[in-house]
Structures are given as C-alpha cells and as structure tokens.
A and B are shown apart, each in its own frame.
Chain A
C-alpha cells in the first residue's frame, strides 16, 4: 500500500516536473545539467536524488513561476504607467481614487493562486511527515562541531555501528586563517570538496526508506543535505524524525544549517549512497570489530569505514 502511494506521487510529480522544467528553461533559469551537489553558477534548487526531493524542487519552480508572472504583470503595469502618465508628456492627473470591482478582483485572484500553492505544499508536506514503513534507522547527533551517526537498525535487525564524522584534514588545514593554502586545490574524486568533505561519511543503501532520528548534544544544529530535499534541526533534548529514500548511488554533500558557534561553517555532512549489496558488505566490515569488545566509537569503526570508502578519499592529501 505504501509503495503504491509513493509510486502514484512519483508519476504525478514527474509530469509536473517536465512542465515546470520546460517553463523554467524558457526563462533561461537553468544552466546546463542539474547536479546533486552545489555547482559554480548554479541558479536553482537541485531536483535531488530521492523519492521525495522533487517535491520541494517542483514547489519551488511552480512558486517561482507564479511570482515571475505576477511580477511581470504588476511591474509591467507600473512601467506603462510611468511612461504614459508623465507630467513631461502633458499628462493631466485624473481624480478617481477608488474602484470596487478591480479591488475585489485583485483580492480574489491572489486568494485562488494561494489556495493552489497551499494545496501543492500540503500534499508535499504530508509525504514528508510520513516516516512510517522505514527499513532502516540512523540516529544523527550534532556536536560542536562534528556529527555522530548511530546505525540503529536495518531490515528489522538492530545494529551497533556508530562513528563521528568531522571536517576532513585537508579542508581543515586550508581553512585556517591565512593558511596560504588554496581552497580550489582541495579535491576528492575530482570534485572540489573544500569544506564539503568529512573523514567518515554516512554510508547508506539506495532504494531503502531510511528514517533519521535527529538530536544534538550541546547546542542546536541542523542536518542539511540539499540533494535529499530537506533539513531538520538537531536540538538537545528533542528527537526529530525525517526520512529519505535515495534513488541513485553517489556522494551527497551538505552542511550544518543552524548557527552553532565558531566552527559552524566547518561541520559538513557527507552521505555516501551505495547499492544494497555494497552496503551489506560495508556493514559486515563494520560489525566484525563490533563483535569483539565494543570499540570506542570514534576509533575502530571509522578505521573500517575509511577502508571501505577509500575511493572517496583517494585524492586527499
């Protein structure tokens, strides 16, 4: 039943997606192919890579389109007025200052537009808020200034995998005041990953509904990966829930989005989405040392993680 629901929305939104994308291309708002991670010169939201991420993308495109059309009409009328009704052209001011009919029209039309937008947004919000039926749970904890990931369960089985994830060494060296190092030289896998790379990424399987439970240990943080289509605040004493279901393998980068102190800009998030087979292998490698006396979370498990995601780090200093 759930899968059917997702499929239905998927089809509906794909159709809207095409229409919206065409409309916006006509406006020249897209620069080339759309990427999951920030690109130089990027002008619009990423459509993202999950079963949900087209929702904010479409809503953004529709709302932007509505705003552009209203803007053209209103500002167009204003510019016409500014050219036609100039004193220098001998315009004589008219006396009227009221017209009930047009006032009703321009109150009612915006209401209709708003109802349409509200309907679309409510539908999207309803999808986002449904965290039921997940096949995996990851607990995310924000710290000043790093993230901790606890793999709680996967396919109904409890897991004991957890590690800290913090800014990679190369970015960290480069970002020191007057380091003299070149931010453009910070690369990983051919991508320029300055401040968007970590030592241990969150590895997750694709085509799996993953439930995130998000909290924090000191101050408020916010877990934000644009390619997933949302952010969620990580608040001490509060456990928030969100979900994702990633369609394509890849490395998706984000950052803490809530001011959390001096190194707020230096606690990125990297999600590495892999096939379910690769994830099973990765998980097995993680759990081997865990079968022995539980390791200090930040030491042993990440060592394994590093080996598994060597590709992501191959080009690092």
Chain B
C-alpha cells in the first residue's frame, strides 16, 4: 500500500492504473479506504431495508387489535431480528463506513493504517449476516427471545448456535475496525494535525473505537456462556445448577450500554461537523465538545444496571445506577447547548444535511428527555418494558443515529461522488422522514404511559387508536426511505451537476481541500496544515 501510495502522485494517472482491475478485484480484494467505506455504506443500506421490512411486519400486525398476519412466535422473531439487523447491520457498519471514508481524509492520511485488515473486517460481515438471517428459513426458526437474548428464554430457541457464531463474527469485525481506526488516528495524522486540532467527528470515532474494543469481547463472552449453557451443560445462567439468570443481564448490559453510545457518539461527531458548516461559524466550545464525548464514554461503563431496575437490585445499587445515569444528562446537555450556541450569531442556510442535523438536535433531545425520565427508578418501575421505552430508544436511534447517518450522507456524498445530489428530492426525503417518524414514534410514549408492554403481538382495544396512528406513520416513514435510495442512485449515476472541491460554502477541514471525487489515495503527500483552513484548529479555546 505504501508503495502504491508513493506512485500515485497524480490522480488521473492513478485512476487509469486502477481501471485494470476487474469488478471482483476492485471490490472484493480492495484495500482502499474509500472502496471499503463504500462497501460498508452499501451493506448498511441493504441491512437498513431488510431490518426495516421486519419493522413493517411488526407495525402491520400491530395496526389493529387481533392477530391478522403472523403467529406470535414469528412476531417475536421479527422484533428480535429487527433489532439485531438494525444495530449490528445498519447503524454500526454505517458509522464504520463513514469513518473509513472520512477519517483518512480528515487527518491528512493516504489511507487507513491497516488496509488489509480493513478488507477483512468488512468481508466478515456479509457472512455473519448470512448466517444469522438464514435462521429465518431453517426448521425451528430464528432467534425469538429479543436482541438482548436473556436466558433462560433465549436458550429455548433452536437458533442459538447460529446467532452466537454470527455475533462472534460481528464482534471480530468490529474489533478489527476499531483497531484500524485507532491506529489510523494515532499514527497517520499529517504533521501539524495535533489531536486537539482534529475534527470532532474524528475525536468521536477515536473514543468510540476504544469503547468497541472494551465491550465487544464482553458480549462475545456472554453469548459464549449461552452457547455452553445450551450445548455443554454448563450452568452459568441456570439457577437449578447454581447459576444466575441475572448474571447474564449484568454482563450483557456491561456491553450493551457502551454499545448504545457506540451508536450515538459518531453521530455527535457528524452533527458537530455539519452545524458549523451551515452556520458558517466555528463550533462553540470545541474542547468542551471533545471532553463531553469522553465523559459520556466514561459514564457509559458505570450505568449498565439502569436497564435492570426491575430485576430486584438492592436499594444501594438502584440509587448508584440512578445517580450515575442522571449524570449523563450533564455532558449531553453541554453538547446540545453548544450546538445551539454554534448556530447563534451564525449565517445559516438550510440545505438537506443541515435540516437533518437540526432535526437531530431537537428529536435526539426528546429522546434524551425520556431517557432522563427513565433514569428515575420509581418512575422506571412504571415505564420499564413498556412502549415508553420503545419510543425513547427509537428517538435516540432513529431520529438520533439514523438521522445523523442520513445527514452525513447528504453532507459528504458530493465529495464522494463528485456530483451534487438533488436538493429538491433531498428535502422531500427530509420532510417526509421528519413528519412520519414523529407520527410513528411519538404516540408510543402515550401507549407506554397507559401501560402497553413492549414486544407483544396484540393488545387491548384501549391501545388501538395510537397503535393505528403509529403504524400509519411507520408505513409512510418506511416508504419515505425509498426516496433516500432514489436520491443516492441519482447522485451516484445520473446527476449532471458537478460538485466543487469545497462543496459547501462554509465547509472547513482537510477533506474539502481534496478534489471531488477525491483521489484514490487521499493524501499521497502529507498536506501542510494551515490553521485557518481547519474546521477547529484556529479556535482559541
């Protein structure tokens, strides 16, 4: 790779060089951060639609009371697979894809530090998901015990081994991706790109990568214990053999809560790039933003049991985890306030990335508010495992993580492809998404407060009206994503409008100094860093 980089000083020369590759060599054997980033993003989009189709089945069955479409067991398979596919297949690979594409360009590197490992970490994923999704077509069906896989229920499933091995593969992929990102950020920065001059997105990924390395092995351990409990007669989680079903929950959520932040910290980074660009004003409190991300990452390790308030924890533990959880509101609040302060006194325009970023700030905050309410243990005894929780985590994951990914796509796709997307259709996509996602998820707060449990295929008629509204929102939100697909296809293959190198008037940072599309190896020669050209380096705090 280093040799190739040394030879490819000139883009056009270089592109000719790569035309010799056939399709297989270009995509399957690629060691290029942009190609692998593209693979991750395409894979993520595919999984987004597969996971979304499961959600459509769920919302269709819940459209009205009574069982009309599927058997309860299949419904449980859908809720389980929807979560697994969306978390491990859509959101996480999308962030890895964005990191792959942007981190080398943002820090002034030619490529990722470990390009072959990069290839491997991507190509594991299709196999992991083939293994997991195949269970839906096998005798006994797919996993139906929820994505949290709580034993003893999860051990009743015939697909435990498939799912455990699939999760092992995903974990290996994530750990390798994380190692690569850390190695790139720590070793491949251009001279003068100090850590505290890096874009917030790069910072957010550096911290996220450490979270991944810390917790993916924990998940692997937990699911391995499930496997040996089921097939090798161990009794880690079997009370009859001296084990403890709650032990699994502790271990799982020690992974699971940092995992939640793995899915949102890179989103914070993306929003922190987009808002300054379209406000034409440097981000407010750069160091506070970085410090807030680090604080949230630290706190994520000491709040896991707030997912378990109803398991009968001792009073002292409930109080500790409640206080620690509430503390997260402080750095999260700082981030939201800083985004608003970045807008204040700016000169704003509202292109599609900015629209998604603004809706992120509002809707993610609503998810944060319900998160604060959930932290209050006595109130959580009512909210826990109801639709209030479903509404909460879909606000932070759909209008949080996924909106940030969409914002990032609109923000960077002109740079990736060299073409502008259709602003009109981007806005059509945005307005449809933001309206229907609220029709979809806001009524679920009311359902939860009224006492509707989550993960049920049918419900009392008192819950009928809000479920129908939610389902209508769900179908239309799902359909709106076809517009997203259309905008991307148009931009990649049909758009006639060339993107400039800068793309956005207010864009700052090294990635915008490259051509659109950028050369195969981003910075063959380390760029000279001029502070006023950086997104954040000239900031005096």
Contact = CB atoms under 8 A, between A and B. Distances in A.
A255 B452 CA distance: 8
Given A94-B345, A128-B378, 4 more contacts: A74-B337, A98-B539, A110-B330, A120-B376
30 contacts: A40-B464, A41-B446, A42-B449, A42-B462, A56-B379, A78-B340, A86-B347, A87-B347, A87-B348, A87-B349, A96-B345, A97-B342, A97-B541, A98-B540, A102-B341, A106-B334, A124-B378, A177-B68, A194-B65, A233-B312, A235-B311, A235-B312, A236-B245, A238-B239, A238-B311, A241-B312, A258-B150, A259-B146, A259-B454, A265-B456
A255 B279 contact: no
A234 to B, nearest CB: 10
Contact of B343 (A82, A128, A193, A238): A82
Interface stretch (B185-193, B204-212, B316-324, B409-417): B316-324
A210 interface: no
A238 B116 CA distance: 49
Nearest to A241: B312
Contacts of A224: 385, 451, 453
A261 B153 CA distance: 7
B372 interface: yes
Contact of A42 (B323, B446, B461): B446
Interface stretch (A60-68, A133-141, A271-279, A293-301): A60-68
Contacts of A192: 460-462
Interface stretch (B2-10, B359-367, B424-432): B359-367
Interface stretch (B71-79, B119-127, B194-202, B521-529): B71-79
B67 A93 contact: no
B21 interface: no
A118 B347 contact: no
Contacts of A128: 378, 381
Given A42-B449, A192-B462, A179 B67 contact: yes
Contacts of A107: 330, 333-334
Interface stretch (B45-53, B94-102, B221-229, B282-290): B282-290
A195 B465 contact: no
A91 B348 contact: yes
Contact of A106 (B150, B337, B446, B454): B337
Instruction: Report, nearest first, the 4 A-B pairs whose CB atoms are least far apart.
Output: A237-B239, A265-B456, A240-B312, A124-B378
Contacts of B239: 235-238
A67 B379 CA distance: 14
B486 interface: no
Contacts of B60: none
B449 A264 contact: no
Contacts of A11: none
Give the interface size class of chain B: 35 or more
Contact of B344 (A85, A120, A229): A85
A93 B345 contact: yes
Interface in A188-222: 192-196, 214, 218-220, 222
A33 B539 CA distance: 56
Nearest to A192: B461
Given A85-B345, A235-B245, A262-B71, A226 B315 contact: no
A248 B370 CA distance: 30
Main secondary structure, interface of A, reads: mixed
Contacts of B73: 261-262
Contacts of B65: 183-184, 194
A184 B461 contact: yes
A315 interface: no
Contacts of A231: 310, 381-382, 384-385
A118 B323 contact: yes
Contact of A259 (B76, B458, B539): B76
Interface of A: 37-46, 55-57, 59-60, 63-64, 67, 70-71, 74-75, 77-78, 81-82, 85-88, 91-99, 102-103, 106-107, 110-111, 114, 117-118, 120-122, 124-126, 128-129, 174-179, 181-184, 186, 192-196, 214, 218-220, 222, 224, 226, 229-233, 235-238, 240-241, 254-266
A117 to B, nearest CB: 6
B343 A81 contact: yes
A237 B240 contact: yes
Interface string B138-176: 000000111000101100100000000000000000000
B29 interface: no
B144 A262 contact: yes
A64 B373 contact: yes
Contacts of A260: 153
B319 A122 contact: yes
A111 B332 CA distance: 12
A98 B330 CA distance: 18
A75 B337 CA distance: 10
B455 interface: yes
Interface of B: 65-73, 76, 144-146, 150, 152-153, 156, 239-240, 243-246, 279-286, 288, 310-312, 315, 318-319, 322-323, 326-327, 329-330, 333-334, 336-337, 340-350, 358, 361-362, 365-366, 369-370, 372-373, 376-379, 381-382, 384-386, 446, 449-466, 506, 539-541
A74 B449 contact: no
Contacts of A194: 65, 460-461
B334 A103 contact: yes
A264 B458 CA distance: 10
A238 B286 contact: no
Given A74-B340, A262-B73, A263-B72, A93 B382 contact: no
B246 A238 contact: yes
Contact of B245 (A39, A220, A254, A257): A220
A104 to B, nearest CB: 11
A67 B456 contact: no
Contacts of B245: 220, 235-238
B372 A226 contact: no
A301 B347 CA distance: 75
Contacts of B336: 74
Nearest to B371: A67
A233 B307 CA distance: 12
Given A60-B379, A220-B153, A231-B382, A94 B334 contact: no
Among A43, A182, A193, residue most surrounded by chain B Cβ atoms (within 10 Å): A43
Nearest to B380: A56
Contacts of B348: 81-82, 85-87, 91
A97 B66 contact: no
A177 B71 contact: yes
Given A85-B347, A93-B347, A117-B376, A264 B76 contact: yes
B361 to A, nearest CB: 7
B310 A222 contact: yes
A264 B329 CA distance: 34
A111 to B, nearest CB: 6
A224 B244 CA distance: 22
Contacts of A261: 73, 76, 144-145, 153, 156
Nearest to A218: B152
Contact of B459 (A70, A92, A195): A195
Contacts of B330: 107, 110-111, 114
Nearest to B278: A87
A255 B456 contact: yes
Given A97-B282, A237-B240, A264-B455, A121 B373 contact: no
A192 B358 CA distance: 43
